[in-house]
Amino acid sequence: MNNEKIVFGVFDHLDRTGSSLADYYEDRLKIAEVYDRAGFYGYHLAEHHATPLGMAPSPNVFLAALAQRTRRLRFGPMVYVLPLYHPLRLIEEICMLDQISGGRLEMGFGRGASPIELAIYGEDPDAAQDTYTECLELILKGLTVKRLDFRGKHYSFDDVPMPLEPLQKPYPPIWYGVHAPDSAERAAKRNLHVISLDPPDMTRASIERYRATWRPPHPGAALPKLGLGRFIVVAETDAKALALARRAYPVWHQSFTYLFSRRGKPLSHPRPPDFDALMQRGQGVAGSPATVRDFLNRQLAETQCNYVVGQFAFGDMTREEALHSIGLFVGEVMPAVRAETLEAAK
């Protein structure tokens, strides 16, 4: 990775736990304050509907609260499910979020990972890619003009005033979730930041294609962030970390499979049902700071990612348990991984 600096971020499903939603939201906002103070780069929030997997079906509502509770942490959806939005409304909300946060919004766009959720809203999953493509073109145009004219298959607008504008020009950074080399190649050609949640071999194939395809948009341009998404639990010993992960993860997995189980449908992107199997696939780690450090160093070297995206709070993990794990990660893992990367670059 030459002299690329390793940075750290967060991926969050906001999956349901506990009895009080008000307390739940407050817990997650308190955790976000810690991410902010600890120097994490970004907070990436999933969007899901009609399922306990996603207690932020309107990411912008939660992110507006997060914007007021943090000062430096950048944030955004991973991803906006574009077939479920009216593009004009989304343009307006993007502008508001970017302005009230002082230009900290990062935008992720997608067609939606769950065909069931699209169908619940009356959208045709088979048409989602086409809708997504047109919506994205429309939204990016709408963020850069004072009056919007557009002709498409799904949307047409004539001379629509656009009084709102984003603080970041021409618009906030764009993210994309990659699951295959072809999608990585498309993202590279558009200079997008990416995150992979796949096992190491699949992630490496995607990132290799991205690096081979990417060309700087102008001299001196920095390589976009190439994210490695992993479940991460840290405790003083491997045994303590594993006990917590083995208890919390099945609760998350039950939420993850909720809609598919109810409808008898196969999962779009399956995950193992227990944490030990997840670790065997290389998609998570639970251990002491040294164990987690070694795991991340190996995977960063193997995948050639430059951005560690940890899922730290999930399942029935309490605020205190999550904050203890995050504290150990910030204090003992992050500095060690950065030091290892710098040493390897010499």
Q: What is the pTM of this model?
A: 0.96
Residues 67 and 43: their CA atoms lie apart, in Å, by 11
pLDDT of residue 202: 97
Residues 74 and 101: their CA atoms lie apart, in Å, by 9
Per-residue pLDDT of the chain (346 residues; tens, 9 = 90+): 555 789 999 999 999 988 799 999 999 999 999 999 999 999 999 999 999 999 999 999 999 999 999 999 999 999 999 999 999 999 999 999 999 999 999 999 999 989 999 999 999 999 999 999 999 999 999 999 999 999 999 999 999 999 999 999 999 999 999 999 999 999 999 999 999 999 999 999 999 999 999 999 988 899 999 999 999 999 999 999 999 999 999 999 999 999 999 998 888 788 999 999 999 999 999 999 999 999 999 999 999 999 999 999 999 999 999 999 999 999 999 999 999 887 776 6
pLDDT of residue 87: 97
Tokens of 343: 């040493």
Residues 267 and 262: their CA atoms lie apart, in Å, by 12
pLDDT of residue 345: 66
Domain positions in the chain are 1-52+178-346, 79-175
Enter the CATH code of domain 1-52+178-346. Answer: 3.20.20.30
Residues 218 and 339: their CA atoms lie apart, in Å, by 30
Burial class (CB in 10 A: 0-12, 13-18, 19+), 26: middle
pLDDT of residue 266: 86
**DSSP assignment of 46-101:** ----SSTT-S-SSHHHHHHHHHHH-SS-EEEES-EEGGGS-HHHHHHHHHHHHHHT
pLDDT of residue 9: 98
Close Cβ partners of 134 (under 8 Å, ≥ 6 residues apart):
152, 153, 154, 155
Residues 28 and 320: their CA atoms lie apart, in Å, by 11
CB 97 within 8 A of CB 64: yes
